[in-house]
Structure 1
Amino acid sequence: MPFNAPQLAAGFFTPPVGLIVIPIVGSLVIGHFSGLANEWAIFVNYFGWGSGFFLYLALLAVSMYRFILHCPLPNVLAPTVWINLGPIGAGTVALFNLVTHCCFIADREPFFVIVFFFWGFGVWWVGMAILLTVHYIRRLRLPYAMSWWAFTFPLGAYVAATHLIAERFSIRLIDHFGFALYILLFFLWATTLVNTGIHAVKGELFRGS
């Protein structure tokens, strides 16, 4: 089957996220093992982040190609543009934890700066996601669909990453930015939850728009 770029949506980022989140918890247990078990823990954590991150970069290039050169996403898939924040947010937290709990990194500061850069890309994507969402609401219509839940987890991951960055570098502006995103997250979550409940009661939850 030939590649059809217009059919590509940000849901393709789900597999990289499944890998990149491994060190969020896995890195916390590395120090609790010794010998071969410790080596396995290190291997699994670095495999998860490394493979997830570079898969994300590869898919990001394809995704940007689709956004720039092809027609907009169908309106029911518009919320999936927020999924891009999932790998960024989860990847930031995961790498932060890996650096923090790694036993063989002597100077951690350069790695924390790399984490900061990775998080910074998410600031741009938050802006793009908001602008695209507003565009769909005002110009193309944004009917409820189960894809609305894409507003929640990715942004939640990025809010957590923002809190870590603000705390690590003691930057109050980032802390305020994270709080604003938290308010936005709560609003999107509540709106999605209410609409899901309404459509479930009406029996329209999985009906096409």
Structure 2
Amino acid sequence: MGTGIVANAAVTLPRSFDGLRTAATVVWLGAALLLMLLAVRYLRQRTLRVHAADPMVVQFFGAPPMALLTVGAGALLLGRRVIGLEGALAVDWVLWSLGTVLGLVAACAVPYRMVTRHRFAPDAAFGGWLMPVVPPMVSAATGALLVPYAPTGQLRLALLLGCYAMLGLGLVAALLVLAMIYSRLVHHDAPTGTVVPTVWIGLGALGQSVTALGALAVVAPSALPAPYARGTAVFALLGGIVVWGFAMLWLALAIGLTVRTVRAGLPFAPTWWSFIFPVGACVTATGALAARTGSEPFIWTAVVLYALLVIAWVVVAGHSLRHAAKHVRRRPVAGHERRWPVDRQGGLRSEAGSRRGMNNSCH
């Protein structure tokens, strides 16, 4: 999903650059290949039950649905140049449908398990708790791309209204989790080590909501009567700017915590991918506001954020490849299931960098 958002965000930029779309298409193809390889590898491990029982790893069940949705959207945005419009539509419908179903299951099942099966300390909340509830917002944003291709009438209307309902589901749930994370930050010790990058996931949740509002407002006139269609445009602008402002506050907080941690030492871990998708969501959100307002500050903010996104992706991808190479040379003994250790703050210890798990889908 991290690699996929790098490709998709390039299409939403309010400024075009020579060769950018071609490069984005290559990155999307890489994301699609990576998705297939990791999905097959994970299913062959047969560790779903073990991960579902782990209060830490279960949070990342939201990653595979978002990976499916992101790659599916890329098929329609970029893949049509490679496989044609009909092929791209078929791929996107399949991946969007599967990703939406899995995302809704994760958004309901993971919180239910947290309430009924697991017990958490007062300082346990961390950014990973957002992972299960964000997929419905990604479904809303990517589903907007399919609205114009849905049959006119009730089916198209149902798709549009369903996307708005999923946006509300994810946004309200995300705001509740953000409140718990903020409470943990101000009432307990600040997070340290490899759990710090997960603070950035809050930025992804907020950015994805602004992106969804903008994308749905664009296609609403094809399904809603004129007064309501105009209302969605107003909602996308005013609501989007309000949420975007809060996202900038969260971005400043995340940058401050990250810089503080880097000074103390930030070892590589799969949680580093938490930097990528949230920044990508912020790029698409800013691009949506730029397209709606024509504001130069929004335009250049989107361009700068995308440049930073590409740099971060190159750094994290490079570290991940080196880590994967080391892991291949140092295979664990067969028959021994390794679990991610949890520190007293409910975060991942630095050893998590050498663990395989659901975080692979964040790539």
Taking structure 1 as the reference length, the TM-score comes to 0.90
Letter in 2 for 1:207: S
Q: Contact 2:217–2:229 (CA<8 Å) still a contact in 1?
A: no
Query: Given the alignment of the two structures, is residue 166 of structure 1 paired with residue 293 of structure 2, yes or no?
Result: no
1:47 maps to which residue? 165
Q: Distance in 1 between matches of 2:201 and 2:151?
A: 34
Q: Distance in 1 between matches of 2:298 and 2:155?
A: 38
The CA RMSD over aligned residues, in Å, is 2.0
After TM superposition, list the pairs within 5 Å mapping 1:41-120 onto structure 2: 41-102=159-220, 103-104=224-225, 105-108=228-231, 109-111=233-235, 112-120=237-245
Q: Distance in 2 between matches of 1:82 and 1:180?
A: 18
Q: Distance in 2 between matches of 1:27 and 1:198?
A: 37
2:304 maps to which residue? 180
Per-residue CA deviations over 1:38-60 (Å, capped at 9, x if unaligned) read 34313421221111111111111
Identity of aligned residues (%): 30
Per-residue CA deviations over 1:51-106 (Å, capped at 9, x if unaligned) read 11111111111111111111122301111111111111111111112222222324
SS at match of 1:6: coil
Larger Rg: 2
Residues 116 and 30 from structure 1, CA distance in 2 versus in 1: closer, same or farther, beyond 3 angstroms?
Answer: same
Q: Contact 2:134–2:205 (CA<8 Å) still a contact in 1?
A: yes
Q: Distance in 2 between matches of 1:117 and 1:52?
A: 17
Q: Distance in 1 between matches of 2:319 and 2:156?
A: 46
Superposition deviation, residue 144 in structure 1: 0.4
Superposition deviation, residue 2 in structure 1: 4.1
Structure 2: 5+ residue stretches without partners: 1-117, 331-351, 356-363
Q: Distance in 1 between matches of 2:258 and 2:295?
A: 29
Q: Distance in 2 between matches of 1:107 and 1:70?
A: 45
1:3 maps to which residue? 120
Superposition deviation, residue 207 in structure 1: 2.1
Structure 1: 5+ residue stretches without partners: none
Count of residue correspondences: 207
Residues 16 and 2 from structure 1, CA distance in 2 versus in 1: closer, same or farther, beyond 3 angstroms?
Answer: closer
